[in-house]
Amino acid sequence: MTHTALSLRFAAPDVRPGAAPDFSQFQVPVAGEMPRPAIDATPETLRDLAFGMIRVLDDTGQAVGPWADMPDLTDDMRREGLRHMLKLRAYDARMLLAQRQQKPSFYMQHLGEEAVSCAFQRALRPGDMNFPTYRQAGLLIASGYPVKTMMCQVYGNDGDPVRGRQLPVFYSSKEHGFFSISGNLGTQYIQAVGWAMGSAIAGDDKIAAAWIGDGSTAESDFHAAMVFASTYRAPVVLNIVNNQWAISTFQGLARGGAGSFAARGHGFGIPALRVDGNDYLAVLAVARWATERARANLGPTLIEHVTYRAAGHSTSDDPSAYRPSDEDACWPLGDPVLRLKQHLIARGAWSAERHIQAEAEVMAEIAAAQRKAEAIGTLHSGRRPSPAEMFDDVYAEMPPHLRRQRQQAGF
Amino acid sequence: MATEILMPALSPTMEEGTLAKWLVKEGETVKSGQILAEIETDKATMEFEAVDEGVIGKLLVAEGTAGVKVNTPIAVLIGEGESADVAPAPAAAAAPTAAPASAAPAIATAAAAGPVEVKVSRSPDWPEGTAMKTMTMREALREAMAEEMRGNDRVYLMGEEVGEYQGAYKISQGLLDEFGPKRVVDTPITEHGFAGIAVGSAMAGLNPIVEFMTFNFAMQAIDHLLNSAAKTLYMSGGQMGCPIVFRGPNGAAARVGAQHSQDYAAWYAQIPGLKVVMPYSASDAKGLLKQAIRDPNPVIFLENEILYGKSFEVPVLDDFTIPFGKARIWREGTDVTIVSFGIGMTYALEAADKLAADGISAEVIDLRTLRPIDYDTVLASVQKTNRCVTVEEGWPVGSIGNHISATIMMKAFDYLDAPVINLTGKDVPMPYAANLEKLALVTTAEVVEAVKSVCYR
């Protein structure tokens, strides 16, 4: 009998700071090559869609292949999509500067990931519910939620709808289909499946969208959500935003030996798509396909949005400590804003001059909203939530001991 | 008009930083968003951007300067053609922020009773005359882990961001370099998963130290902590124990909201099978963590983010541990006993100083461990002072203070001259907004008021 000393694999990213960025192992399939199956196709016949990449915009800005076939999508709708992304980027830029002035204590930006949430929202209907994580504020922007209200939440001022009770960027709007955000990662994923099951049990026609990052798919909640979604065929779209980095942890640590995150769907019999997350039209196309399936009682769809977190995880993070500082510039899928801009110009529906003008208009709009928000207050000044409300909403009805505490506090 | 550029706070808990490098020169025109400087915090090096347009009039802080407090003016921005010499005026105006004028008469009136002498108690945990050095809580925790890992190759650290990132709060700084990735293990984001892995490995004979990024996240692993780690030795008839340390920040930090601010001291202290430690000082943190790593039982080691950067005197000894179940008397006193632990000690000690000026002599006891708990030290003190106030940041129902009060009532009822007061956080989830957060926590003023109340003053 022979004895072999046992060993383990310790996964590590291809490069660390000091080395040149290297995406040579990252495959970028040709745009337009993936088939677009019927929405009632069986998961077994969709296997390749979890390992390839659905891409619509090619290198010249042309929309190509079966997923580009969206005859109702007018130039106005495409320009609106670009404007949503510009707005989200401008909002992030202003809030980042505001954080440096300590107007909020903390902020998280979307740089490089704007297409995912901005495009996905366009496939939803009023009443549908998102269970988002940190980098999906595009769901709010694209649904017309006021930027000023978002800023008030970030500042925790008296205009904040959640009354200074939540961290910056933890927005919540039932009306705009934005549940809330859990700081404890992953919990929202199983809750989204539960919400979708509740909608179906109640005989409603509203669907849910679950959101999670690549790193948090390691949480047990992700796997429990997949079991329930699969078993009950819940009307939910299960989104994984693979932005390559969970703070300093590269995506391979959570992915393990699987070729992609989308492949997680196969063991559960859930149709799974892997999409170019920096391609606005591709995200929109797969979002439409998946929501249509959910609405037709065909069950859940898993979508892996492949993108790149170009900035730090949050304002407290410095990514140059764990990845090459110029890695974002080498990301093979490019910038979602520039790619949609190139597409619109190629269609003759946009120009470089109009783009510069649009950027200026959007920035002026955001700056005006910021002045209005700051006229109410910031973290350290102005009108802030009253301590009188601090004891509200602990229970549906305020118990006597909380009423006494409020009175002792002088309210 | 000249504008001052202030030292930015780059994270909610940053109080000071190093101005590592200026990327602009005096006289240079800057645009909004342009990077002005690189600033090092205890967590990372970050770039600092200009908010307004203008010309850099003067750089007030030289590059390489460490310990620059947040909101200190570091440069002056002027308009085109303006002189930089107008700059110092606003700085001078901002300077006098001493005690509000109203405070002075209040202290004078109270002082009529005469201030009491302050007796600072010596720690009994190391020999008298031991050399001491100043160290932060952060450094003490790292030293404790490094020393124990050098001494026992079955000890390993695992958790989110403990390796490459050097710990979310930089507690594991340098450990990956020294011990390698097999003993400083970065995990996927699954508290439920890695706590289960660690418990299994402890049952297989290793001595894991599990870092939770905060104890709030340990809720996702609670089944492993309570149903497995705490109970398996009993359930297996003494066959399989679980020598493991679960450690990380616990309780409120600053502006981190309801889901990152909970104090779990009373929760874990309720569970038989666990040992529960909650240090206040760096020396206690070091001695108690070393003890925890050597303990054959599961230990819950509750740290505090605000205390991580605080400095204390730590004995210079090759090896020292502090036994569990021994409270530390930080100040001796005769009029009232203040019992606290963890960051609650900050308020207890501040209050004791203020009370001394008012002629009230407070004895301040740091419990240090909550399971086992040192009842004897508390009871002996109450038998001397006849009054007691407990201080903690957790919630009022089922608090450690409740338990201390019940014990005093059962064991020393006849010695009490006043009902014991339990000071805790307010009975609400932690709000985010700074003004609300401050109100939700226990304060030094509340401690002073409670002590005066039990002293009938």
Strand partners, A237: A209, A301
Phi/psi class of residue A398: alpha, beta or left (left: φ > 0; alpha: ψ in -120 to 50)?
A: beta
pLDDT at B123: 61
A31 vs B121, higher pLDDT: A31
pLDDT at B40: 86
Whether residue B109 is predicted with pLDDT greater than 60 in this model: the reply is no
Q: What is the mean pLDDT of residues A128-141?
A: 97
Does the interface predicted TM-score (ipTM) exceed 0.85? Answer: no
pLDDT at A184: 82
Chain A positions touching B436 (Cβ under 8 A) are 164-165, 384-385, 387, 390
pLDDT at B95: 38
pLDDT digits (tens, 9 = 90+) for B197-246: 899 889 888 999 999 999 999 999 999 999 999 988 898 888 888 999 99
pLDDT at B114: 65
Quick check: A184 and B219 CB within 8 A?
yes
Q: What is the mean pLDDT of residues B351-364?
A: 97
Looking at chain A, which residue has its C-alpha nearest residue B47?
A318
Whether residue B328 is predicted with pLDDT greater than 80 in this model: the reply is yes
Which of B34, B77, B164 is best to mutate for the A interface (most A CBs within 10 A)? B164
B326, burial (CB in 10 Å: exposed 0-12, middle 13-18, buried 19+): middle
pLDDT at B94: 38
Spell out the residues 6+ positions from residue A107 whose beta carbon is closer than 8 angstroms to its own. Answer: A92, A95, A96, A98, A99, A154, A168, A169, A314, A315
Chain B positions touching A102 (Cβ under 8 A) are 8-9, 70
Q: Which among B245, B256, B451, B423 is positioned nearest to B343, based on CA atoms?
A: B423
What is the C-alpha to C-alpha distance for residues B113 and B102, in angstroms, rounded to an integer?
A: 20
CATH topology of domain A43-380: Rossmann fold (3.40.50)
Average pLDDT, chain B: 89
Whole-number Cα distances in Å, B4 to A13, B24, B36 = 42, 15, 13
pLDDT at B13: 74
Q: Which residue out of B191, B303, B305, B392 is catalytically annotated?
A: B191
pLDDT at B119: 67
pLDDT at B1: 63
Q: What is the mean pLDDT of residues A274-278?
A: 98
CA-atom Rg of chain B in angstroms: 25
Whether residue B112 is predicted with pLDDT greater than 70 in this model: the reply is no
Cβ contact B107:B357 at 8 Å: yes
Q: What is the mean pLDDT of residues A93-115?
A: 96
pLDDT digits (tens, 9 = 90+) for A331-368: 999 999 999 999 999 999 999 999 999 999 999 999 99
A208: which DSSP letter? Answer: E
Q: What is the mean pLDDT of residues A81-100?
A: 97
pLDDT at A323: 95
pLDDT digits (tens, 9 = 90+) for A185-228: 888 999 999 999 989 998 999 999 999 999 999 999 899 999 99
Q: What is the dihedral of CA A289, A293, A299, A304, to 10 degrees?
A: 0
DSSP3 helix / strand / coil % (chain A, rounded to 5) = 40, 10, 50
Looking at chain B, which residue has its C-alpha nearest residue A8?
B182
The percentage of residues in chain A with a pLDDT greater than 90, rounded to a whole number, is 86
Average pLDDT, chain A: 95
Buried b (16+ CB within 10 A) or exposed e, A241-264: bbbbbbbbbbbebbbeeeebbbbb
A382: which DSSP letter? Answer: B
Q: What is the mean pLDDT of residues A398-404?
A: 88
Strand partners, A211: A239
pLDDT at B108: 34
Which H/E stretch holds residue A130?
A: strand A129-131
Cβ contact B350:B253 at 8 Å: no
B293: which DSSP letter? Answer: H
Q: Which among A177, A379, A91 is positioned nearest to B256, based on CA atoms?
A: A379
Chain B positions touching A253 (Cβ under 8 A) are 186-188
Quick check: B427 and A405 CB within 8 A?
yes
B178 vs B64, higher pLDDT: B178
Residue A152 C-alpha, separation from nearest chain B C-alpha, in angstroms: 11
When mean pLDDT is compared across A369-383, B84-98, B322-336, B340-354, the lowest value belongs to B84-98
Cβ contact B357:B111 at 8 Å: yes
Q: What angle (nearest 5°) sits at the alpha carbon of residue B219, between those of residues B216 and B221?
A: 125
What is the C-alpha to C-alpha distance for residues B173 and B166, in angstroms, rounded to an integer?
A: 5
Chain A positions touching B165 (Cβ under 8 A) are 247-248, 321-322
pLDDT band at residue B121, thresholds of 50, 70 and 90?
low
pLDDT at B106: 36
Q: What is the mean pLDDT of residues A241-250?
A: 95
A407, burial (CB in 10 Å: exposed 0-12, middle 13-18, buried 19+): exposed
Q: Which among B379, B450, B456, B380 is positioned nearest to B420, based on CA atoms?
A: B450
Pairing assessment for the beta strands B275-277 and B369-371 based on DSSP bridges: antiparallel
Query: What is the C-alpha end-to-end distance of chain B, expressed in Å?
Result: 53
- Residue B128 appears among annotated catalytic residues: no
CA-atom Rg of chain A in angstroms: 22
Q: Which residue out of B4, B139, B148, B260 is catalytically annotated?
A: B260
pLDDT at B269: 97
- Residue B260 appears among annotated catalytic residues: yes
Spell out the residues 6+ positions from residue B73 whose beta carbon is closer than 8 angstroms to its own. Answer: B4, B5, B6, B7, B60, B90, B91
Q: What is the mean pLDDT of residues B304-333?
A: 95
pLDDT at B99: 38
Whether residue A52 is predicted with pLDDT greater than 50 in this model: the reply is yes
pTM of the model: 0.82
pLDDT at B172: 97
Residue A249 near chain B (CB below 8 Å): yes
φ/ψ (deg, to 5) at A180: 180, -175
Whole-number Cα distances in Å, B318 to A122, A232, B172, B284 = 64, 60, 20, 15
When mean pLDDT is compared across A171-185, B45-59, B127-141, B320-334, the lowest value belongs to B45-59
Whether residue A39 is predicted with pLDDT greater than 50 in this model: the reply is yes
Whether residue B98 is predicted with pLDDT greater than 80 in this model: the reply is no
Chain B positions touching A93 (Cβ under 8 A) are 33
pLDDT band at residue B93, thresholds of 50, 70 and 90?
very low
pLDDT digits (tens, 9 = 90+) for B249-308: 999 998 889 999 999 999 999 999 999 999 999 999 999 999 999 999 999 999 999 999
Residue B35 near chain A (CB below 8 Å): no
Quick check: B33 and A182 CB within 8 A?
no
φ/ψ (deg, to 5) at A188: -70, -20
Pairing assessment for the beta strands B16-22 and B3-6 based on DSSP bridges: unpaired
Phi/psi class of residue A96: alpha, beta or left (left: φ > 0; alpha: ψ in -120 to 50)?
A: alpha
Q: What is the mean pLDDT of residues B353-374?
A: 97
Which H/E stretch holds residue B446?
A: helix B444-454
Closest CB to B43 among A164, A170, A316 = A316
Extended beta strands in B121-174, E state = 132-136, 155-159
